[in-house]
């Protein structure tokens, strides 16, 4: 323990000596060669430091240079390195140090400058390697939420820009995937199929089509006419037969398997009959529900058309119709692949009264495939028989792409799918890291919740896609084995539609998330700020709005619901009223439904909802927007994302010598201005050359020392000198980058090295971590020069404050003089009145006093201006005023009292 303490004290003593020598050397010029004494001291205290000139000379004299990577894994090794001796001792820090250049001796033997690697150094080596790997991997997921709170604005924006670029690539991949599977062919495919089955008349003598069916007789006419004609295309237009036992609708769409017709029934007695009418009404069939569903055989009582089959055996699913939601079970009949056999089957069903009073829904299902565009079309025609009588028709044409990876473009989409999965995995890891860092605070941000929602939707879409791809192969294989069976593509079509819906919602939210990055622009952020400020007022007013809105909706539903289709349900009433607010309404129907309440309802609704309440919403938003705009105009200008992009572009153009630097632009503007250039002229000139307002204001804040909003030759020369010093610092920094790290300094992190590459950030300071032994010589010199420049800037600020104090003191003197003169004049008038003196004599005395005071004020003003030009502010007694001097308490009180009278003459 005693040996370890003595080693530590010796190391601390050497460190103090090194810092003292560095402080004395800091006043020297930054780049002259080191003396022999200083080189010896630095090489003694900092063995890892080796000046470039000395290293080059040693390398030339010594011969070959060896590359060594030494691992200091034990305390003994650390102590020996800090003491500069070969003997091992306790007290080391165990950190890994690198010495890359070790010259060989004159005799050709290698001169070891470090003790050999301890045998137990493998574990720290692996730990350091693991830490570096973890740091680099974490750098891949670096976002602004992972940045420290004290991170600079520019580094913060760099993280945002990197995140934005990654997100834009993800957005492009997602759009390629979603839009790559959709084309105009899908719409035309749906349109021609719907025209064939929905708009074809049931006969040449009647104009009734599927959309206008009204009775069961019309249904049978449709199945025997347009349905058979549309399903079976066995002849060409020249009466030549097509391929045997195959049907190609429109000569292009192959009918897959056979069609199926299915019905659902309710049992008799499912509803109650009043006692007074039981003698007249014997049968009663309630509206459809699963509980009222009839499962008993009927009619011929043989075959699937007359016996009930449950949903599981049919591999069906429920369907949401216009009147009710129907199960996937029922009585079904599979038709044939030929027209003749199918016509016989339909005739048999019609003859034996397959449809009766208990029928509530009839389904016609079939599927076709078009190889030209690689699309399936799953068709379902639904005829609902409500308990009121008559029938209601609806339909579904679902074009889906179930077979993938055929063409070259399909394989490109497959690559995009893999890229999309990688992006989803990437963002999952990113969100996990952010949740690990911020815990529950992570979920307080709406954008973070949106990120989670996008990832969940993406995972669901990936799962549906995998299920769809794996299922279609088995279904097609089964279909090819038995072409006389019904291919149930309805579940696949259902999942495909769900996939399309999820993809559409995901794309919507992904595009919405772009506002997260656009908000970093000052102008674009006005929208989000306005909405966030007025959200409480809008919600409070929306409650009142919807109370009145829903009151009108209930009134319309009760008054017009039995006569107008747009008001037939309460939901339709709500949507119809929104349409009225947008100007889409039919006043004639409302008036015909009720001649008294109709016009009253319409007039009052438009007046209160449109002219008053809707405009109140706009007024709230407009007032908030005005407040936000005025607040942003008063805020301090900060670097924006567009400024960072413009800055990088300007740097690239300057490096390519396609654009001048900022100092060259200012020099040119100064030459054109004849030696002086005010703020407005410089701002207009530099704005045209691509510079930001923040950069221009920073120039004037730093170099306009006299506060006259003009850059003189002297101020411009000072600016050029500072920039030249900055360039020297940057050159020195760049020259020191490839050099080996000092044994007394830690390696910089990846983020720090990226920050050091920025040459135009106004300061090129490096946040290099260092051990308790100090920093390298070059870093110390750079820091010394920066401290000098900081003191110079502080001196400029102090001089401006002194100028303000001088002007305030001059105002106080003028105030006291005015008070003295007015008192003397008042005393003179009072004395003349008391003694009865002549007025002429009194006027002459007053003129003489006023003239003397005016001359005195002019002389004081001239002296103040001369002292301001010479830069030597005067005190109250006209003596030069020291920089650290401050007015007394009485003077301070006078200044506070006089600031209101002469505040407009102060110019900082």
φ/ψ of residue 499, rounded to 5 = -65, -45
Question: Long-range contact list for 788-796, CB < 8 A, 24+ apart?
Answer: 789/722, 789/725, 793/702, 796/702, 796/705
pLDDT tens for each residue of 740-786: 443 333 334 434 444 444 434 444 333 333 333 456 666 777 788 78
Output the pLDDT for position 189.
93
What are the residue ranges of helices labelled H in 482-614?
Answer: 490-512, 515-518, 525-560, 570-581, 587-593, 597-605
Q: Give the C-alpha separation, 371 to 250, whole Å.
A: 13
Contact status, residue 323 vs residue 386, Cβ threshold 8 Å: yes
Contact status, residue 124 vs residue 73, Cβ threshold 8 Å: yes
Nearest to 745 by CA among 777, 792, 713: 777
Structure tokens at 395: 């339909």
pLDDT-wise least confident of 7-21, 209-223, 376-390, 417-431: 7-21
677 or 56, greater pLDDT = 677
> The whole model's pTM is what?
0.59
Q: What is the 3-state secondary structure (H, E, C) of 804-816?
A: HHHHHHHHHHHHH
Output the pLDDT for position 36.
37
φ/ψ of residue 771, rounded to 5 = -80, -175
Q: Which residues in 828-839 are b (16+ Cβ under 10 Å) and which e? A: eeeebeeeeeee
Q: What mean pLDDT do residues 39-44 have? A: 36
pLDDT-wise least confident of 167-171, 503-507, 805-809: 805-809
Residue 414 has pLDDT above 80, yes or no: yes
pLDDT-wise least confident of 163-172, 487-496, 784-793, 847-856: 847-856
Q: Is 871 helix (H, G, I), strand (E, B) or coil?
A: coil
Output the pLDDT for position 830.
73
Output the pLDDT for position 827.
75
Angle at 693 between CA 688 and CA 694, to 5 degrees: 140
DSSP element (H, E) containing 728: helix 713-736
Output the pLDDT for position 384.
96
77 or 439, greater pLDDT = 439
- CA–CA distance from 238 to each of 137, 227, 231, 241 (Å)? 71, 22, 19, 9
Angle at 662 between CA 659 and CA 664, to 5 degrees: 75
Output the pLDDT for position 135.
66
pLDDT-wise least confident of 252-256, 392-396, 746-750: 746-750
Q: In the chain, pLDDT over 70 holds for what percent of residues? A: 65
Q: How confident is the model at residue 174 (pLDDT cuts 50, 70, 90)?
A: very high
Contact status, residue 520 vs residue 160, Cβ threshold 8 Å: yes
Q: What mean pLDDT do residues 361-365 have? A: 96
HSE, side-chain direction, 13 A CA sphere, residue 246:
11
Query: What is the DSSP-derived secondary structure letter of residue 208?
Result: -
DSSP element (H, E) containing 362: strand 359-370
Query: What is the DSSP-derived secondary structure letter of residue 610?
Result: I
pLDDT-wise least confident of 122-126, 291-295, 369-373, 752-756: 752-756
Residue 249 has pLDDT above 60, yes or no: yes
Q: Give the C-alpha separation, 780 to 23, whole Å.
A: 8
Q: How confident is the model at residue 842 (pLDDT cuts 50, 70, 90)?
A: low
Output the pLDDT for position 169.
93
Residue 147 has pLDDT above 70, yes or no: no
Angle at 710 between CA 707 and CA 713, to 5 degrees: 110
Output the pLDDT for position 152.
73
Residue 235 has pLDDT above 80, yes or no: no
Q: What is the DSSP secondary-structure string of 130-154?
A: HHHHHHHHHHHT--GGGS-TT--HH
Q: What is the mean pLDDT of the chain?
A: 74
Find residue 817's DSSP bridge partners: none
Q: How confident is the model at residue 700 (pLDDT cuts 50, 70, 90)?
A: low
377 or 151, greater pLDDT = 377
Contact status, residue 743 vs residue 81, Cβ threshold 8 Å: yes
DSSP helix, strand, coil percent of the chain (3-state; round to 5): 60, 10, 30
Output the pLDDT for position 685.
72
Structure tokens at 86: 């070969």
pLDDT tens for each residue of 644-660: 777 787 778 777 777 66
Secondary structure E strands in 185-244: none
Find residue 381's DSSP bridge partners: 364, 395
Output the pLDDT for position 137.
62
Q: What mean pLDDT do residues 317-338 have? A: 93
75 or 330, greater pLDDT = 330
**If you average pLDDT over each of 40-44, 465-469, 713-717, which comes out highest?**
465-469
């Amino acid at each position: 323990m005693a040996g370890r303490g003595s080693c530590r004290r010796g190391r601390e003593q050497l460190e103090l000596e090194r810092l003292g020598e560095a402080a004395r050397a800091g006043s020297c010029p930054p780049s002259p060669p080191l003396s022999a004494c200083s080189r010896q001291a630095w090489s003694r205290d900092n063995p890892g430091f080796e000046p470039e000139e000395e290293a080059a000379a040693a390398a030339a004299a010594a011969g070959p240079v060896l590359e060594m990577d030494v691992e200091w894994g034990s305390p003994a090794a650390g102590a020996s390195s800090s003491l500069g001796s070969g003997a091992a001792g306790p007290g080391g820090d165990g950190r890994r140090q690198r010495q890359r250049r070790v010259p060989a001796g004159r005799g050709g033997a290698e001169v070891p400058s470090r003790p050999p690697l301890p045998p137990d150094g493998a574990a720290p080596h692996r730990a350091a390697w693991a830490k570096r790997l973890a740091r680099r991997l974490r750098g891949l997921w670096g976002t602004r939420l992972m940045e420290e709170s004290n991170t600079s604005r520019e580094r913060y924006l760099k993280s945002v820009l990197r995140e934005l670029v990654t997100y834009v690539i993800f957005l492009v991949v997602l759009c390629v995937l979603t839009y790559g599977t959709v084309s105009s062919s899908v719409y035309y495919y749906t349109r021609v199929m719907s025209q064939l089955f929905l708009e074809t008349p049931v006969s040449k003598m009647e104009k009734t089509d599927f959309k206008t069916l009204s009775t069961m007789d019309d249904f049978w006419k449709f199945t025997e006419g347009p349905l058979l004609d549309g399903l079976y295309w066995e002849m060409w237009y020249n009466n030549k037969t097509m391929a045997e036992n195959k049907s190609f609708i429109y000569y292009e769409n192959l009918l897959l398997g056979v069609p199926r017709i299915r019905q659902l029934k309710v049992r008799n007695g499912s509803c109650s009959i009043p006692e007074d009418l039981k003698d007249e009404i014997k049968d009663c069939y309630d509206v459809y529900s699963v509980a009222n569903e009839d499962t008993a055989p009927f009619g011929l009582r043989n075959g699937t058309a007359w016996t009930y089959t449950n949903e599981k055996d049919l591999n069906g699913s429920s369907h949401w119709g216009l009147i009710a939601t129907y199960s996937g079970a029922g009585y079904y009949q599979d038709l044939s692949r030929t027209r003749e056999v199918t016509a016989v089957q339909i005739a048999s069903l019609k003859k034996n009264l397959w449809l009766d009073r208990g029928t509530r829904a009839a389904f016609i299902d079939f599927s076709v495939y078009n190889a030209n565009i690689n699309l399936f079309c799953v068709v379902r025609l639904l005829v609902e028989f409500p308990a009121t009588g008559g029938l209601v028709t609806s339909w579904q044409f679902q074009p889906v792409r179930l077979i993938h990876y055929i063409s070259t473009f399909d394989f490109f989409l497959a690559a995009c799918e893999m890229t999309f999965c990688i992006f989803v995995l990437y963002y999952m890891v990113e969100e996990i890291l952010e949740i690990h860092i911020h815990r529950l605070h992570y979920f307080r941000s709406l954008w973070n919740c949106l990120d989670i929602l996008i990832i969940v939707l993406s995972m669901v879409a990936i799962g549906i896609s995998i299920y769809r791809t794996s299922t279609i192969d088995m279904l097609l294989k089964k279909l090819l084995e038995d072409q006389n069976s019904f291919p149930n593509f309805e579940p696949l079509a259902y999942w495909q539609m769900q996939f399309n819906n999820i993809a559409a919602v995901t794309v919507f939210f992904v595009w919405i998330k772009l506002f997260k990055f656009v908000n970093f622009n000052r102008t674009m952020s006005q929208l989000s700020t306005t909405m966030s400020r007025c959200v409480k007022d809008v919600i409070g007013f929306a409650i009142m709005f919807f109370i009145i809105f829903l009151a009108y909706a209930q009134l319309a539903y009760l008054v017009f619901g039995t006569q107008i289709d747009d008001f037939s349900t309460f939901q339709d009433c709500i949507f119809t009223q929104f349409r009225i607010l947008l100007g889409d309404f039919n006043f004639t129907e409302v008036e015909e439904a009720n001649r008294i309440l109709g016009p009253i309802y319409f007039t009052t609704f438009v007046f209160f909802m449109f002219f008053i309440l809707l405009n109140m919403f706009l007024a709230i938003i407009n007032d908030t927007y005005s407040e936000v705009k005025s607040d942003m105009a008063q805020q301090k200008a900060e670097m924006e994302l567009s400024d960072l992009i413009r800055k990088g572009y300007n740097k690239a153009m300057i490096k390519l010598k396609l654009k001048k630097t900022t100092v060259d632009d200012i020099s040119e503007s100064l030459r054109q201005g004849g030696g002086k250039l005010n703020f407005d002229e410089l701002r207009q000139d530099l704005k045209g050359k691509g510079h930001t307002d923040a950069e221009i204001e920073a120039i004037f804040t730093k170099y306009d020392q006299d506060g006259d909003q003009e850059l003189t030759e002297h101020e411009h020369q000072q600016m050029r000198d500072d920039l030249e010093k900055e360039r020297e610092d940057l050159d020195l920094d760049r020259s020191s980058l490839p050099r080996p790290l000092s044994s007394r300094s830690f390696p910089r992190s990846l983020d720090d090295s990226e920050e050091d590459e920025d040459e135009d950030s106004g300061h090129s300071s490096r946040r290099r971590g260092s051990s308790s032994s100090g920093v390298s010589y070059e870093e110390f010199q750079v820091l010394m020069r920066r401290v000098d420049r900081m003191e110079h800037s502080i001196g400029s600020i102090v001089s401006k404050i002194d100028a303000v104090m001088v002007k305030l003191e001059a105002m106080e003197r003028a105030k006291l003089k005015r008070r003295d003169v007015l008192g003397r004049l008042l005393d003179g008038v009072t004395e003349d009145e008391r003694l009865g003196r002549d007025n002429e004599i009194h006027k002459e005395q007053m003129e003489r006093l006023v003239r003397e005071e005016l001359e005195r004020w002019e002389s004081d003003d001239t002296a103040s201006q001369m002292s301001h030009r010479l830069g030597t502010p005067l005190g109250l007694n006209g003596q030069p005023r020291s920089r650290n001097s401050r007015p007394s308490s009485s003077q301070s009180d006078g200044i506070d009292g006089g600031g209101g009278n002469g505040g407009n003459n102060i110019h900082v």
